[in-house]
Amino acid sequence: MRLSRLLVLSAAGGTLAQSLLDILTAQSATLSTLTAWLTSQQLVYDILSNARGITLLAPSNTALTQLYTTPLVGQLALDPNLLTAFLSYHVLDGVYLASDFVNTPAAAVPTFMNMKAYSNVSGGQVIETRSQNGAVTFYSGNGVQSNFEKYDYNYVGGTLHIIDTALSIPSSLTDTLVAGGLTAAVGAIRRAAVETPLNMATDVTIFAPNNDAFDAIGSLVNNMTLEQLTKVLNYHVIPGKVLYSQLVPGDGSEVTAEGGSLNFKIQNGSLFVNSARVVAADVLIGNGVVHVLDGVLNPDNPTAVPDPNAATQEPAFNGASSTAGGVPFTSAVITTTSTATVPASSGASEPSVVPAAAPRRMAAVGAAGLLGGVVALVNWCV
């Protein structure tokens, strides 16, 4: 991709005189670290400075200081491609004022992070936004939560919001599941030898049962053949589609990798998949999204229906029960201490029926053009 194509611009949407540099300079007490990071990547900085119709989520000095206690800082210093991905993940495709997020209870908002080494989602990676009682929270990889410190610094290219925590690029499926404590799902995936295909696939939606769900049918899954286990796992995967919660049909169905259909229903404020309840929605991964279930889905029982008034659901496998031997599949999964969380799905029905937040105007430079081709360009120039 040629530099001239990356820098093709349309006229600014307004008459604001301030530039991105003006904003960064005026907020230097809060944004000096980010400014240094941006200016260290001159090509990225030039593109951001000249782009129109974007929203920059700018981590404060405090937010970036937090990263100095993690391995990420060293990785960013050594790998300019990773730094480019990190910065582009903080750029939203469109102009979103704070009020746009407040007025939308839940949405998946597209970013300019579309580098294949770090994202395998068609059209680029997203962040999740949720609004409750006027407060807005951004969710990124491993459920990292970010909130506004200051907002609506409008300039000629769009708007800038200062956030209190840097966004985290979504990681692989298995790394995300381990970080979220879903070790039974990881162990099952590894026993069935489908870890690599799932991590390498483009555009997947995965319904991951939690550890309690696997434990509830321990008497059966421990004795499953690899063929039976693979069939069950494939029934939890929708290939070729990234169904963020607002895109899940509230009263419809989708075809799985196993070939059967999953049935969705919203009842009593919860989203159910067959008879299992979604207990955590929109966990972002590098190649799609995960929704966490409180039950294991049974491809041989696709008509299982929930009891929406019950706190827990009966297993979809007849005659199944837990065992005294511990949660199935977890013994071989090594975990480390993690602060990762998954966004709770209280009101899981809301995202499925509320449209994504609408930007004030779309970006003049497309997502693939703004930063997605920077690494290829840099490599070509070297």
pLDDT classification of 106: cutoffs 50, 70, 90: confident
Token reading at 282: 């929109």
Q: Which residues pair with 163 in a beta bridge?
A: 59, 148
- Indicate whether 130 and 212 sit together in one domain: no
- Indicate whether 148 and 187 sit together in one domain: no
- Indicate whether 156 and 194 sit together in one domain: no
22-43: per-residue pLDDT in tens? 999 999 999 999 999 998 888 8
CA distance 294 to 328: 15
Domain-located, residue 348: no
CA distance 207 to 236: 5
329-344: per-residue pLDDT in tens? 998 787 654 444 444 4
Domain-located, residue 307: yes
Answer yes or no: is pLDDT of 380 > 70: no
Domain-located, residue 343: no
Domain-located, residue 342: no
Strand runs (DSSP E) across the chain, as ranges? 54-59, 91-93, 106-110, 126-132, 135-139, 145-155, 158-163, 204-209, 237-239, 253-255, 261-267, 270-273, 276-285, 288-293
- Indicate whether 91 and 132 sit together in one domain: yes
pTM: 0.85
CA distance 373 to 3: 9
Q: Nearest-CA neighbor of 131 among 363, 347, 362, 360?
A: 347
Q: Structurally, how many domains does the chain consist of?
A: 2
143-199: per-residue pLDDT in tens? 999 999 999 999 999 999 999 999 999 999 999 999 999 999 999 999 999 999 999
CA 168 to chain centre: 9
Domain that holds residue 313: 182-334
Tracing tokens 């995300």 back to the chain, one arrives at 176
Instruction: Read off the pLDDT of each residue in 211-228 and give the average, rounded to a whole number.
Output: 95
- Indicate whether 297 and 208 sit together in one domain: yes
Domain-located, residue 204: yes
- Indicate whether 156 and 36 sit together in one domain: yes
CA distance 294 to 275: 9
Domain-located, residue 345: no
Compute the mean pLDDT over every residue in the chain, rounded to the nearest whole number. Answer: 85
**Of residues 379 and 181, which shows the higher confidence score?**
181
- Indicate whether 220 and 315 sit together in one domain: yes
6 vs 295, 313, 374, CA distance in Å?
Answer: 47, 52, 8
Q: Nearest-CA neighbor of 248 among 238, 258, 260?
A: 238
- Indicate whether 224 and 162 sit together in one domain: no
260-270: per-residue pLDDT in tens? 999 999 999 89
- Indicate whether 275 and 201 sit together in one domain: yes
Q: Residue 149 burial (CB < 10 Å; 0-12/13-18/19+)?
A: middle
- The domain that contains 303 carries what CATH number? 2.30.180.10
Residue 282: phi and psi, rounded to 5, are: 60, 50
CA 123 to chain centre: 13
pLDDT classification of 358: cutoffs 50, 70, 90: low
User: 58 by DSSP, 3-state: which?
Assistant: strand
Domain-located, residue 339: no
For helices 226-234 and 183-191, angle between their N-to-C axes, nearest 10 degrees: 130
Domain-located, residue 359: yes
- Indicate whether 240 and 187 sit together in one domain: yes
Residues 6+ apart with CB under 8 A from 44: 38, 84, 87, 88, 371, 374
- Indicate whether 320 and 192 sit together in one domain: yes
Answer yes or no: is pLDDT of 209 > 60: yes
- Indicate whether 14 and 38 sit together in one domain: yes
pLDDT confidence of residue 355:
36
Determine the longest span between alpha carbons in the chain, in angstroms: 70
